[in-house]
Structure 1
Protein backbone atom coordinates (compact mmCIF):
# COMPACT_ATOMS: atom_id res chain seq x y z
CA UNK A 1 0.00 0.00 0.00
CA UNK A 2 1.47 3.38 -1.02
CA UNK A 3 1.47 6.46 1.20
CA UNK A 4 -0.38 9.71 0.62
CA UNK A 5 2.66 11.52 -0.79
CA UNK A 6 3.33 8.81 -3.37
CA UNK A 7 -0.37 8.67 -4.28
CA UNK A 8 -0.43 12.43 -4.91
CA UNK A 9 2.81 12.25 -6.93
CA UNK A 10 1.40 9.53 -9.17
CA UNK A 11 -1.91 11.35 -9.55
CA UNK A 12 -0.15 14.57 -10.56
CA UNK A 13 2.01 12.82 -13.14
CA UNK A 14 -0.87 10.82 -14.58
CA UNK A 15 -3.66 13.41 -14.62
CA UNK A 16 -5.87 13.23 -17.71
CA UNK A 17 -7.12 16.56 -19.02
CA UNK A 18 -10.43 16.46 -20.89
CA UNK A 19 -11.70 19.76 -22.30
CA UNK A 20 -15.47 20.28 -22.47
CA UNK A 21 -16.92 21.95 -25.56
CA UNK A 22 -20.30 23.63 -25.05
CA UNK A 23 -20.62 26.50 -27.54
CA UNK A 24 -20.11 27.32 -31.21
CA UNK A 25 -16.71 28.94 -30.63
CA UNK A 26 -15.47 25.71 -29.09
CA UNK A 27 -16.85 23.70 -32.00
CA UNK A 28 -15.00 25.87 -34.52
CA UNK A 29 -11.73 25.70 -32.56
CA UNK A 30 -12.03 22.04 -31.56
CA UNK A 31 -8.95 20.80 -33.43
CA UNK A 32 -6.77 23.65 -32.14
CA UNK A 33 -7.96 23.05 -28.58
CA UNK A 34 -7.28 19.33 -28.84
CA UNK A 35 -3.76 20.06 -30.14
CA UNK A 36 -2.77 22.09 -27.05
CA UNK A 37 0.05 20.37 -25.16
CA UNK A 38 -1.35 18.45 -22.21
CA UNK A 39 -4.90 18.13 -23.51
CA UNK A 40 -5.81 14.44 -23.70
CA UNK A 41 -9.32 14.56 -25.13
CA UNK A 42 -12.46 16.53 -25.98
CA UNK A 43 -15.90 16.04 -24.49
CA UNK A 44 -19.10 17.68 -25.75
CA UNK A 45 -21.80 18.68 -23.28
CA UNK A 46 -24.71 17.90 -25.66
CA UNK A 47 -27.50 19.58 -23.67
CA UNK A 48 -25.59 22.84 -23.14
CA UNK A 49 -24.30 22.84 -26.71
CA UNK A 50 -27.88 22.47 -27.98
CA UNK A 51 -28.88 25.52 -25.91
CA UNK A 52 -25.90 27.52 -27.20
CA UNK A 53 -26.83 26.69 -30.79
CA UNK A 54 -30.45 27.74 -30.27
CA UNK A 55 -31.98 24.25 -29.97
CA UNK A 56 -32.82 24.00 -26.28
CA UNK A 57 -33.94 20.48 -25.38
CA UNK A 58 -33.34 19.24 -28.93
CA UNK A 59 -30.03 17.39 -28.77
CA UNK A 60 -30.95 15.11 -31.68
CA UNK A 61 -31.56 17.76 -34.36
CA UNK A 62 -29.13 17.60 -37.32
CA UNK A 63 -27.43 20.92 -36.46
CA UNK A 64 -26.44 19.73 -32.98
CA UNK A 65 -25.38 16.29 -34.18
CA UNK A 66 -23.25 17.86 -36.93
CA UNK A 67 -21.55 20.13 -34.38
CA UNK A 68 -20.78 17.16 -32.13
CA UNK A 69 -19.38 15.21 -35.09
CA UNK A 70 -17.20 18.24 -35.94
CA UNK A 71 -15.73 18.27 -32.42
CA UNK A 72 -15.04 14.53 -32.54
CA UNK A 73 -13.38 14.86 -35.94
CA UNK A 74 -11.19 17.68 -34.62
CA UNK A 75 -10.12 15.55 -31.67
CA UNK A 76 -9.18 12.67 -33.93
CA UNK A 77 -7.17 14.86 -36.28
CA UNK A 78 -5.22 16.25 -33.32
CA UNK A 79 -4.59 12.76 -31.93
CA UNK A 80 -6.75 13.37 -28.85
CA UNK A 81 -9.36 11.08 -27.37
CA UNK A 82 -13.07 11.35 -28.18
CA UNK A 83 -15.12 11.35 -24.95
CA UNK A 84 -18.91 10.92 -25.01
CA UNK A 85 -21.74 10.53 -22.49
CA UNK A 86 -24.95 8.51 -22.17
CA UNK A 87 -27.23 7.02 -19.58
CA UNK A 88 -28.08 4.00 -21.74
CA UNK A 89 -25.80 0.91 -21.99
CA UNK A 90 -26.92 0.19 -25.56
CA UNK A 91 -26.02 3.72 -26.66
CA UNK A 92 -22.67 3.40 -24.85
CA UNK A 93 -21.87 0.38 -27.02
CA UNK A 94 -22.76 2.44 -30.10
CA UNK A 95 -20.39 5.21 -28.98
CA UNK A 96 -17.52 2.76 -28.56
CA UNK A 97 -18.28 1.19 -31.93
CA UNK A 98 -18.21 4.68 -33.50
CA UNK A 99 -14.70 5.34 -32.14
CA UNK A 100 -15.11 6.90 -28.69
CA UNK A 101 -12.15 6.11 -26.41
CA UNK A 102 -14.07 7.00 -23.25
CA UNK A 103 -17.81 6.94 -22.52
CA UNK A 104 -19.06 8.64 -19.36
CA UNK A 105 -22.06 6.90 -17.86
CA UNK A 106 -24.66 9.50 -16.87
CA UNK A 107 -25.89 7.97 -13.63
CA UNK A 108 -28.23 10.87 -12.91
CA UNK A 109 -29.96 10.38 -16.25
CA UNK A 110 -30.28 6.63 -15.68
CA UNK A 111 -31.65 7.16 -12.16
CA UNK A 112 -34.07 9.80 -13.42
CA UNK A 113 -35.48 7.36 -15.97
CA UNK A 114 -35.77 4.67 -13.30
CA UNK A 115 -37.53 6.92 -10.77
CA UNK A 116 -39.89 8.25 -13.46
CA UNK A 117 -40.70 4.67 -14.37
CA UNK A 118 -41.29 3.69 -10.73
CA UNK A 119 -43.47 6.75 -10.15
CA UNK A 120 -45.64 5.67 -13.07
CA UNK A 121 -46.05 2.26 -11.46
CA UNK A 122 -43.84 0.27 -13.80
CA UNK A 123 -40.29 -0.72 -12.90
CA UNK A 124 -38.05 -0.46 -15.94
CA UNK A 125 -36.80 -3.94 -16.92
CA UNK A 126 -33.19 -4.70 -17.73
CA UNK A 127 -32.29 -4.48 -21.45
CA UNK A 128 -33.19 -7.70 -23.23
CA UNK A 129 -35.37 -9.07 -20.42
CA UNK A 130 -39.00 -10.08 -20.75
CA UNK A 131 -41.35 -7.10 -20.91
CA UNK A 132 -44.18 -6.59 -18.45
CA UNK A 133 -45.95 -3.41 -19.55
CA UNK A 134 -48.49 -1.89 -17.19
CA UNK A 135 -50.40 1.04 -18.65
CA UNK A 136 -47.96 3.12 -20.62
CA UNK A 137 -49.99 6.30 -20.91
CA UNK A 138 -47.37 8.54 -22.52
CA UNK A 139 -48.47 10.48 -25.63
CA UNK A 140 -48.51 8.33 -28.78
CA UNK A 141 -46.64 9.57 -31.86
CA UNK A 142 -47.94 8.05 -35.10
CA UNK A 143 -45.72 7.79 -38.20
CA UNK A 144 -47.56 6.78 -41.36
CA UNK A 145 -45.86 5.11 -44.32
CA UNK A 146 -44.84 6.62 -47.65
CA UNK A 147 -47.55 8.98 -48.97
CA UNK A 148 -49.40 8.61 -45.67
CA UNK A 149 -50.47 11.28 -43.19
CA UNK A 150 -52.53 12.05 -40.12
CA UNK A 151 -55.80 10.92 -41.70
CA UNK A 152 -54.30 7.46 -42.34
CA UNK A 153 -54.83 6.72 -38.64
CA UNK A 154 -58.38 8.06 -38.24
CA UNK A 155 -60.22 4.72 -38.12
CA UNK A 156 -57.69 3.08 -35.81
CA UNK A 157 -57.54 6.15 -33.57
CA UNK A 158 -61.30 6.11 -33.12
CA UNK A 159 -61.05 2.56 -31.78
CA UNK A 160 -58.16 3.19 -29.38
CA UNK A 161 -58.57 4.01 -25.71
CA UNK A 162 -59.82 7.61 -25.30
CA UNK A 163 -57.29 8.05 -22.48
CA UNK A 164 -54.40 7.91 -24.97
CA UNK A 165 -53.16 11.17 -26.48
CA UNK A 166 -52.41 10.64 -30.20
CA UNK A 167 -50.03 12.91 -32.13
CA UNK A 168 -49.44 12.21 -35.84
CA UNK A 169 -45.89 12.99 -36.94
CA UNK A 170 -44.58 13.94 -40.39
CA UNK A 171 -41.97 12.12 -42.46
CA UNK A 172 -42.26 14.11 -45.69
CA UNK A 173 -40.01 17.02 -44.74
CA UNK A 174 -36.57 15.41 -45.11
CA UNK A 175 -34.74 13.36 -47.75
CA UNK A 176 -32.97 10.95 -45.37
CA UNK A 177 -34.12 8.53 -42.66
CA UNK A 178 -31.81 10.20 -40.13
CA UNK A 179 -33.21 13.62 -41.00
CA UNK A 180 -36.79 12.38 -40.74
CA UNK A 181 -36.08 10.90 -37.30
CA UNK A 182 -34.48 14.14 -36.12
CA UNK A 183 -37.54 16.11 -37.28
CA UNK A 184 -39.85 13.71 -35.45
CA UNK A 185 -37.81 14.08 -32.26
CA UNK A 186 -37.76 17.86 -32.55
CA UNK A 187 -41.57 17.94 -32.58
CA UNK A 188 -42.28 15.06 -30.18
CA UNK A 189 -42.95 15.17 -26.41
CA UNK A 190 -40.04 14.53 -24.06
CA UNK A 191 -41.17 10.90 -23.68
CA UNK A 192 -43.65 9.08 -25.90
CA UNK A 193 -44.95 5.82 -27.35
CA UNK A 194 -43.96 5.45 -31.01
CA UNK A 195 -46.03 3.66 -33.65
CA UNK A 196 -44.59 3.44 -37.16
CA UNK A 197 -46.07 1.96 -40.32
CA UNK A 198 -44.00 0.87 -43.36
CA UNK A 199 -41.56 3.74 -44.10
CA UNK A 200 -42.76 5.28 -40.85
CA UNK A 201 -41.64 2.08 -39.13
CA UNK A 202 -38.17 2.43 -40.63
CA UNK A 203 -38.04 6.01 -39.35
CA UNK A 204 -39.31 4.80 -35.96
CA UNK A 205 -36.34 2.43 -35.70
CA UNK A 206 -34.01 5.37 -36.37
CA UNK A 207 -35.80 7.48 -33.75
CA UNK A 208 -35.09 4.77 -31.17
CA UNK A 209 -31.47 4.59 -32.33
CA UNK A 210 -31.04 8.36 -31.94
CA UNK A 211 -32.93 8.84 -28.66
CA UNK A 212 -33.83 5.54 -26.93
CA UNK A 213 -34.34 7.30 -23.60
CA UNK A 214 -37.33 9.21 -25.00
CA UNK A 215 -39.32 6.22 -26.34
CA UNK A 216 -41.36 4.35 -23.71
CA UNK A 217 -42.75 1.72 -26.11
CA UNK A 218 -42.45 0.89 -29.81
CA UNK A 219 -44.98 -0.61 -32.24
CA UNK A 220 -43.79 -1.51 -35.75
CA UNK A 221 -46.40 -2.21 -38.44
CA UNK A 222 -45.67 -3.78 -41.82
CA UNK A 223 -42.05 -2.64 -42.07
CA UNK A 224 -38.55 -4.10 -42.30
CA UNK A 225 -35.15 -3.78 -40.70
CA UNK A 226 -33.39 -4.50 -43.99
CA UNK A 227 -31.73 -2.12 -46.39
CA UNK A 228 -33.18 -1.68 -49.89
CA UNK A 229 -32.72 -4.32 -52.57
CA UNK A 230 -31.43 -3.49 -56.05
CA UNK A 231 -34.93 -4.11 -57.41
CA UNK A 232 -36.45 -1.66 -54.93
CA UNK A 233 -33.80 0.93 -55.77
CA UNK A 234 -34.64 0.60 -59.46
CA UNK A 235 -38.40 0.93 -58.84
CA UNK A 236 -37.94 4.02 -56.64
CA UNK A 237 -35.60 5.63 -59.17
CA UNK A 238 -38.19 5.13 -61.91
CA UNK A 239 -40.95 6.57 -59.71
CA UNK A 240 -38.80 9.63 -58.97
CA UNK A 241 -38.32 10.28 -62.69
CA UNK A 242 -42.02 9.84 -63.44
CA UNK A 243 -43.09 12.07 -60.56
CA UNK A 244 -40.65 14.74 -61.67
CA UNK A 245 -42.09 14.60 -65.19
CA UNK A 246 -45.59 15.40 -64.01
CA UNK A 247 -46.85 11.88 -63.42
CA UNK A 248 -47.47 12.18 -59.67
CA UNK A 249 -51.26 11.81 -59.81
CA UNK A 250 -50.97 8.61 -61.86
CA UNK A 251 -48.41 7.25 -59.40
CA UNK A 252 -50.78 7.93 -56.50
CA UNK A 253 -53.49 5.87 -58.20
CA UNK A 254 -51.03 3.04 -58.85
CA UNK A 255 -49.62 3.08 -55.32
CA UNK A 256 -53.11 2.90 -53.87
CA UNK A 257 -53.58 -0.46 -55.58
CA UNK A 258 -50.07 -1.67 -54.62
CA UNK A 259 -50.43 -0.77 -50.96
CA UNK A 260 -54.05 -1.78 -50.49
CA UNK A 261 -53.76 -5.09 -52.36
CA UNK A 262 -57.03 -7.00 -52.23
CA UNK A 263 -58.54 -4.18 -50.14
CA UNK A 264 -58.32 -1.94 -53.23
CA UNK A 265 -61.67 -3.44 -54.21
CA UNK A 266 -63.15 -1.17 -51.52
CA UNK A 267 -63.41 2.21 -53.21
CA UNK A 268 -63.76 3.92 -49.82
CA UNK A 269 -60.27 2.70 -48.84
CA UNK A 270 -58.84 3.78 -52.19
CA UNK A 271 -60.38 7.26 -51.96
CA UNK A 272 -59.12 7.73 -48.40
CA UNK A 273 -55.60 6.64 -49.33
CA UNK A 274 -55.43 8.83 -52.42
CA UNK A 275 -56.69 11.90 -50.59
CA UNK A 276 -53.90 11.66 -48.01
CA UNK A 277 -51.25 10.88 -50.66
CA UNK A 278 -52.18 13.95 -52.71
CA UNK A 279 -51.79 16.09 -49.58
CA UNK A 280 -48.22 14.82 -49.16
CA UNK A 281 -47.61 16.06 -52.71
CA UNK A 282 -44.97 15.44 -55.32
CA UNK A 283 -42.11 17.14 -53.46
CA UNK A 284 -42.80 15.25 -50.25
CA UNK A 285 -42.97 12.02 -52.22
CA UNK A 286 -39.62 12.73 -53.90
CA UNK A 287 -38.02 13.33 -50.50
CA UNK A 288 -39.46 10.05 -49.23
CA UNK A 289 -38.13 8.17 -52.26
CA UNK A 290 -34.66 9.62 -51.63
CA UNK A 291 -34.84 8.55 -47.98
CA UNK A 292 -35.96 5.05 -48.94
CA UNK A 293 -33.07 4.69 -51.37
CA UNK A 294 -30.49 5.79 -48.81
CA UNK A 295 -31.78 3.87 -45.79
CA UNK A 296 -29.42 1.61 -43.87
CA UNK A 297 -29.76 -2.05 -42.92
CA UNK A 298 -30.74 -2.00 -39.23
CA UNK A 299 -30.66 -5.74 -38.57
CA UNK A 300 -27.40 -5.86 -36.61
CA UNK A 301 -28.36 -2.83 -34.53
CA UNK A 302 -31.89 -4.07 -33.77
CA UNK A 303 -30.46 -6.57 -31.27
CA UNK A 304 -29.51 -3.68 -28.99
CA UNK A 305 -33.04 -2.24 -28.71
CA UNK A 306 -34.08 -2.12 -25.05
CA UNK A 307 -37.48 -0.49 -25.60
CA UNK A 308 -40.64 -2.61 -25.11
CA UNK A 309 -41.61 -3.51 -28.67
CA UNK A 310 -44.48 -5.08 -30.57
CA UNK A 311 -44.30 -6.06 -34.25
CA UNK A 312 -47.54 -6.52 -36.20
CA UNK A 313 -47.81 -8.06 -39.65
CA UNK A 314 -50.66 -8.73 -42.06
CA UNK A 315 -51.34 -12.26 -43.25
CA UNK A 316 -52.03 -11.06 -46.80
CA UNK A 317 -49.43 -8.28 -46.88
CA UNK A 318 -47.44 -8.62 -50.11
CA UNK A 319 -45.43 -5.42 -49.60
CA UNK A 320 -43.94 -6.30 -46.21
CA UNK A 321 -44.51 -10.02 -45.95
CA UNK A 322 -45.20 -11.88 -42.69
CA UNK A 323 -41.73 -13.44 -42.97
CA UNK A 324 -40.15 -9.98 -42.81
CA UNK A 325 -42.26 -9.09 -39.77
CA UNK A 326 -41.29 -12.30 -37.98
CA UNK A 327 -37.62 -11.59 -38.73
CA UNK A 328 -37.99 -8.11 -37.27
CA UNK A 329 -39.58 -9.44 -34.09
CA UNK A 330 -36.94 -12.17 -33.72
CA UNK A 331 -34.14 -9.58 -33.91
CA UNK A 332 -35.51 -7.27 -31.20
CA UNK A 333 -35.02 -8.71 -27.68
CA UNK A 334 -38.32 -9.49 -25.97
CA UNK A 335 -40.47 -8.21 -28.82
CA UNK A 336 -44.05 -9.45 -29.15
CA UNK A 337 -45.25 -10.54 -32.57
CA UNK A 338 -48.81 -10.70 -33.88
CA UNK A 339 -50.42 -11.26 -37.28
CA UNK A 340 -53.84 -10.00 -38.28
CA UNK A 341 -56.09 -10.82 -41.21
CA UNK A 342 -55.16 -7.81 -43.33
CA UNK A 343 -52.77 -6.64 -46.00
CA UNK A 344 -50.29 -3.77 -45.89
CA UNK A 345 -52.77 -1.12 -44.72
CA UNK A 346 -54.21 -2.73 -41.59
CA UNK A 347 -55.18 0.65 -40.12
CA UNK A 348 -57.70 0.95 -42.98
CA UNK A 349 -58.55 -2.73 -43.42
CA UNK A 350 -58.84 -3.89 -39.79
CA UNK A 351 -58.67 -0.78 -37.55
CA UNK A 352 -60.56 -2.27 -34.61
CA UNK A 353 -58.40 -5.40 -34.47
CA UNK A 354 -55.23 -3.35 -34.78
CA UNK A 355 -56.37 -0.94 -32.07
CA UNK A 356 -57.18 -3.81 -29.72
CA UNK A 357 -53.70 -5.30 -30.15
CA UNK A 358 -51.99 -1.98 -29.50
CA UNK A 359 -54.23 -1.14 -26.53
CA UNK A 360 -53.51 -4.50 -24.93
CA UNK A 361 -49.78 -4.06 -25.50
CA UNK A 362 -49.87 -0.65 -23.78
CA UNK A 363 -51.93 -1.99 -20.90
CA UNK A 364 -55.33 -0.64 -21.93
CA UNK A 365 -57.26 -3.80 -22.92
CA UNK A 366 -60.70 -3.22 -24.37
Structure 2
Protein backbone atom coordinates (compact mmCIF):
# COMPACT_ATOMS: atom_id res chain seq x y z
CA UNK A 1 0.00 0.00 0.00
CA UNK A 2 1.35 3.41 -0.99
CA UNK A 3 1.47 5.98 1.83
CA UNK A 4 1.03 9.72 1.26
CA UNK A 5 1.96 12.30 3.89
CA UNK A 6 0.46 15.76 3.37
CA UNK A 7 1.77 18.92 5.02
CA UNK A 8 -0.29 22.16 5.11
CA UNK A 9 0.83 25.78 4.98
CA UNK A 10 0.83 28.61 7.51
CA UNK A 11 -2.27 28.52 9.77
CA UNK A 12 -3.86 25.78 7.68
CA UNK A 13 -4.69 22.20 8.64
CA UNK A 14 -5.83 18.93 7.06
CA UNK A 15 -8.99 20.62 5.75
CA UNK A 16 -6.77 22.27 3.13
CA UNK A 17 -7.06 18.94 1.29
CA UNK A 18 -10.84 18.42 1.68
CA UNK A 19 -11.60 18.90 -2.02
CA UNK A 20 -8.86 16.45 -2.97
CA UNK A 21 -9.33 13.90 -0.18
CA UNK A 22 -11.39 11.36 -2.13
CA UNK A 23 -9.14 11.52 -5.19
CA UNK A 24 -5.91 11.39 -3.19
CA UNK A 25 -7.24 8.35 -1.32
CA UNK A 26 -7.24 6.46 -4.63
CA UNK A 27 -3.44 6.81 -4.63
CA UNK A 28 -2.91 5.38 -1.16
CA UNK A 29 -3.30 5.81 2.58
CA UNK A 30 -3.27 9.46 3.72
CA UNK A 31 -1.47 10.88 6.77
CA UNK A 32 -1.92 14.56 7.61
CA UNK A 33 1.09 16.17 9.25
CA UNK A 34 0.56 18.57 12.16
CA UNK A 35 2.84 21.62 11.91
CA UNK A 36 1.28 23.48 14.82
CA UNK A 37 3.05 22.00 17.82
CA UNK A 38 6.67 22.94 17.20
CA UNK A 39 8.78 26.04 16.56
CA UNK A 40 11.21 25.90 13.64
CA UNK A 41 11.37 24.02 10.35
CA UNK A 42 13.77 21.38 11.67
CA UNK A 43 11.63 20.64 14.74
CA UNK A 44 8.54 20.39 12.54
CA UNK A 45 10.39 17.98 10.24
CA UNK A 46 11.35 15.78 13.19
CA UNK A 47 7.71 15.70 14.29
CA UNK A 48 6.58 14.68 10.79
CA UNK A 49 9.08 11.82 10.77
CA UNK A 50 7.82 10.60 14.15
CA UNK A 51 4.23 10.56 12.86
CA UNK A 52 4.88 9.21 9.34
CA UNK A 53 4.86 5.61 8.07
CA UNK A 54 8.23 3.91 7.47
CA UNK A 55 8.18 4.89 3.78
CA UNK A 56 5.99 7.49 2.11
CA UNK A 57 5.40 9.96 -0.70
CA UNK A 58 5.59 13.46 0.79
CA UNK A 59 3.49 16.43 -0.35
CA UNK A 60 4.28 19.82 1.18
CA UNK A 61 2.28 22.97 0.53
CA UNK A 62 3.73 26.47 1.09
CA UNK A 63 5.29 26.46 4.60
CA UNK A 64 4.78 22.72 4.54
CA UNK A 65 7.01 22.67 1.47
CA UNK A 66 9.90 24.06 3.50
CA UNK A 67 9.28 21.34 6.09
CA UNK A 68 9.03 18.71 3.35
CA UNK A 69 12.47 19.67 2.03
CA UNK A 70 13.93 19.24 5.52
CA UNK A 71 12.19 15.86 5.94
CA UNK A 72 13.51 14.56 2.60
CA UNK A 73 17.05 15.64 3.45
CA UNK A 74 16.89 14.19 6.97
CA UNK A 75 15.48 10.81 5.95
CA UNK A 76 16.07 10.18 2.22
CA UNK A 77 15.72 6.44 2.78
CA UNK A 78 12.09 6.94 3.88
CA UNK A 79 10.87 9.51 1.34
CA UNK A 80 10.00 7.69 -1.89
CA UNK A 81 8.81 10.83 -3.69
CA UNK A 82 8.61 14.55 -2.94
CA UNK A 83 5.99 17.04 -4.16
CA UNK A 84 6.65 20.73 -3.42
CA UNK A 85 3.51 22.80 -3.96
CA UNK A 86 3.45 26.61 -4.09
CA UNK A 87 6.60 26.87 -2.04
CA UNK A 88 10.24 27.95 -2.23
CA UNK A 89 13.78 27.18 -1.10
CA UNK A 90 14.65 30.82 -0.48
CA UNK A 91 15.39 31.93 3.10
CA UNK A 92 13.37 34.59 4.84
CA UNK A 93 14.64 38.08 4.04
CA UNK A 94 15.62 40.59 6.72
CA UNK A 95 12.59 42.68 5.78
CA UNK A 96 10.25 39.68 6.11
CA UNK A 97 11.80 38.75 9.46
CA UNK A 98 11.32 42.28 10.79
CA UNK A 99 7.68 42.33 9.67
CA UNK A 100 7.07 38.93 11.26
CA UNK A 101 8.65 40.04 14.56
CA UNK A 102 6.42 43.12 14.65
CA UNK A 103 3.40 40.93 13.97
CA UNK A 104 4.46 38.52 16.71
CA UNK A 105 4.88 41.32 19.26
CA UNK A 106 1.36 42.57 18.55
CA UNK A 107 -0.13 39.05 18.53
CA UNK A 108 1.35 38.25 21.94
CA UNK A 109 -0.63 40.98 23.66
CA UNK A 110 -3.91 40.93 21.74
CA UNK A 111 -6.74 38.38 21.41
CA UNK A 112 -6.50 36.18 18.32
CA UNK A 113 -9.36 36.84 15.92
CA UNK A 114 -8.01 34.98 12.92
CA UNK A 115 -6.03 36.22 9.95
CA UNK A 116 -6.62 39.68 8.52
CA UNK A 117 -8.89 40.14 5.53
CA UNK A 118 -5.90 41.38 3.55
CA UNK A 119 -3.86 38.27 4.35
CA UNK A 120 -6.70 35.96 3.39
CA UNK A 121 -7.45 37.80 0.13
CA UNK A 122 -3.80 37.87 -0.93
CA UNK A 123 -3.64 34.07 -0.81
CA UNK A 124 -6.26 33.71 -3.54
CA UNK A 125 -6.39 34.56 -7.24
CA UNK A 126 -7.40 38.25 -7.58
CA UNK A 127 -10.72 37.21 -9.13
CA UNK A 128 -11.49 35.11 -6.01
CA UNK A 129 -10.25 37.58 -3.41
CA UNK A 130 -13.81 38.52 -2.37
CA UNK A 131 -15.26 34.99 -2.64
CA UNK A 132 -16.85 34.68 0.79
CA UNK A 133 -17.06 30.88 0.85
CA UNK A 134 -13.32 30.50 0.19
CA UNK A 135 -12.33 33.24 2.63
CA UNK A 136 -14.51 31.65 5.31
CA UNK A 137 -12.88 28.25 4.75
CA UNK A 138 -9.42 29.72 5.16
CA UNK A 139 -10.42 31.69 8.24
CA UNK A 140 -12.05 28.63 9.81
CA UNK A 141 -8.74 26.77 9.62
CA UNK A 142 -6.87 29.71 11.15
CA UNK A 143 -9.36 29.97 14.02
CA UNK A 144 -9.23 26.21 14.60
CA UNK A 145 -5.45 26.46 14.97
CA UNK A 146 -5.77 29.35 17.41
CA UNK A 147 -3.40 31.81 19.02
CA UNK A 148 -0.74 29.41 20.31
CA UNK A 149 -0.21 27.84 16.89
CA UNK A 150 -0.19 31.34 15.36
CA UNK A 151 2.59 32.41 17.72
CA UNK A 152 4.61 29.23 17.17
CA UNK A 153 4.38 29.49 13.40
CA UNK A 154 5.25 33.20 13.44
CA UNK A 155 8.45 32.25 15.27
CA UNK A 156 9.33 29.69 12.62
CA UNK A 157 11.83 31.43 10.37
CA UNK A 158 12.10 29.90 6.93
CA UNK A 159 15.36 28.03 6.57
CA UNK A 160 16.91 27.65 3.15
CA UNK A 161 17.85 24.20 1.92
CA UNK A 162 18.76 25.47 -1.54
CA UNK A 163 22.41 24.39 -1.34
CA UNK A 164 21.39 20.85 -0.32
CA UNK A 165 18.57 20.25 -2.78
CA UNK A 166 20.99 18.83 -5.31
CA UNK A 167 21.50 15.90 -2.92
CA UNK A 168 17.91 14.73 -3.39
CA UNK A 169 17.59 11.56 -5.45
CA UNK A 170 13.90 10.72 -5.10
CA UNK A 171 11.39 11.60 -7.84
CA UNK A 172 10.39 15.24 -7.28
CA UNK A 173 7.41 17.26 -8.45
CA UNK A 174 7.31 21.05 -8.21
CA UNK A 175 4.04 22.91 -8.75
CA UNK A 176 3.58 26.67 -9.07
CA UNK A 177 0.55 28.84 -9.89
CA UNK A 178 0.69 31.69 -12.34
CA UNK A 179 -1.25 34.15 -10.12
CA UNK A 180 0.34 33.18 -6.79
CA UNK A 181 1.01 36.42 -4.92
CA UNK A 182 2.84 34.74 -2.02
CA UNK A 183 5.28 32.38 -3.79
CA UNK A 184 6.41 33.24 -7.30
CA UNK A 185 6.74 30.98 -10.32
CA UNK A 186 10.41 31.95 -10.44
CA UNK A 187 10.95 30.57 -6.92
CA UNK A 188 9.54 27.22 -8.07
CA UNK A 189 11.57 27.29 -11.29
CA UNK A 190 14.64 27.93 -9.17
CA UNK A 191 13.97 24.76 -7.14
CA UNK A 192 13.39 22.78 -10.32
CA UNK A 193 16.84 23.81 -11.52
CA UNK A 194 18.38 22.78 -8.20
CA UNK A 195 16.90 19.26 -8.14
CA UNK A 196 18.12 16.86 -10.79
CA UNK A 197 15.27 15.45 -12.86
CA UNK A 198 12.53 17.43 -11.11
CA UNK A 199 9.19 17.69 -12.90
CA UNK A 200 7.91 21.28 -13.01
CA UNK A 201 4.26 22.16 -13.58
CA UNK A 202 2.44 25.53 -13.59
CA UNK A 203 -1.28 25.74 -12.81
CA UNK A 204 -2.93 28.46 -14.89
CA UNK A 205 -5.43 31.04 -13.60
CA UNK A 206 -4.75 30.10 -9.98
CA UNK A 207 -3.60 31.90 -6.86
CA UNK A 208 -1.61 30.51 -3.92
CA UNK A 209 -4.30 28.16 -2.60
CA UNK A 210 -4.07 25.57 -5.37
CA UNK A 211 -5.58 22.67 -3.36
CA UNK A 212 -8.74 24.77 -2.83
CA UNK A 213 -8.82 26.80 -6.05
CA UNK A 214 -7.89 24.06 -8.54
CA UNK A 215 -8.20 20.72 -6.71
CA UNK A 216 -9.06 18.59 -9.75
CA UNK A 217 -6.24 19.99 -11.86
CA UNK A 218 -3.74 19.65 -9.02
CA UNK A 219 -4.79 16.05 -8.42
CA UNK A 220 -4.30 15.18 -12.08
CA UNK A 221 -0.76 16.58 -11.94
CA UNK A 222 0.03 14.61 -8.77
CA UNK A 223 -1.57 11.39 -10.09
CA UNK A 224 0.29 11.57 -13.39
CA UNK A 225 3.59 12.22 -11.62
CA UNK A 226 3.06 9.33 -9.18
CA UNK A 227 2.27 6.96 -12.02
CA UNK A 228 5.04 8.16 -14.32
CA UNK A 229 7.59 7.93 -11.50
CA UNK A 230 6.59 4.38 -10.56
CA UNK A 231 5.99 5.37 -6.95
Match of 1:321 among 179, 184, 198: 184
Quote the residue 1:285 is aligned against. Answer: 150
Structure-2 separation of matches of 1:356 and 1:161: 13
Length-normalised TM-score, structure 2? 0.93
**Equivalent position SS for 2:64:** helix
* SS at structure 2 position matched to 1:251: coil
8 Å CA contact 2:86–2:177 kept in 1: the answer is yes
Deviation at residue 261 of structure 1 after TM alignment: 4.3
Work out which of the residue numbers 35, 38, 41 in structure 2 matches 1:174.
38
Distance, in Å, in 2 between the alignment partners of 1:219 and 1:283 is: 28
Matched residue, 2:67: 203
Distance 1:218 1:151 in 2: 21
| Structure 2 contact 7–33 (Cα < 8 Å) conserved | yes
How far apart in 2 are the matches of 1:147 and 1:161?
24
Segments ≥4 residues shifted beyond 4 Å: none
Q: Deviations over 1:249-301 (max 9, x none)?
A: 1535442122224222221111111111111111111111111x2x3221111
Counterpart residue number, 1:269: 134
Equivalences for 1:125-274 in 2 at 5 Å? 138-160=2-24, 162-249=26-113, 251-262=115-126, 263-274=128-139
Structure 1 position 307, deviation (Å): 1.2
For residues 189-214 of structure 1, the C-alpha deviation after alignment (integer angstroms, 9 at most, x for no partner) is 00001000010000000001111110
| CA distance in 1 between partners of 2:129 and 2:71 (Å) | 31
Distance in 1 between residues matched to 2:170 and 2:116, nearest whole Å:
35
Gap runs ≥5 in structure 1: 1-136
| DSSP-derived class of the 1:236 partner | helix
Contact 2:2 2:27 in 1 (8 A): no
Q: Distance in 2 between matches of 1:250 and 1:186?
A: 29
Q: CA RMSD in A?
A: 1.7
1:90-125: CA deviations, max 9, x gaps? xxxxxxxxxxxxxxxxxxxxxxxxxxxxxxxxxxxx
Decide which structure has the larger Cα Rg and report it.
1
Residue 163 of structure 1 deviates from its aligned partner by 4.2
**Map 1:90-101 → 2, pairs under 5 A:** none
Cα offset, 1:238, TM superposition: 1.8
Distance 1:250 1:192, change over 3 A: closer
CA shift in 2, pair 1:252/1:212, >3 Å: farther
Kept after mapping to 2: 8 A contact 1:261/1:344 = yes
Report the CA distance shift for 1:245/1:254 in structure 2 as closer, same or farther (over 3 A): farther
Q: How many residues align?
A: 227
Matched position secondary structure for 2:197: coil
Give the TM-score, by structure 1 length.
Answer: 0.60
| Structure-2 residue corresponding to 1:335 | 198
Look up the SS of the partner of 1:209 in the other structure. helix
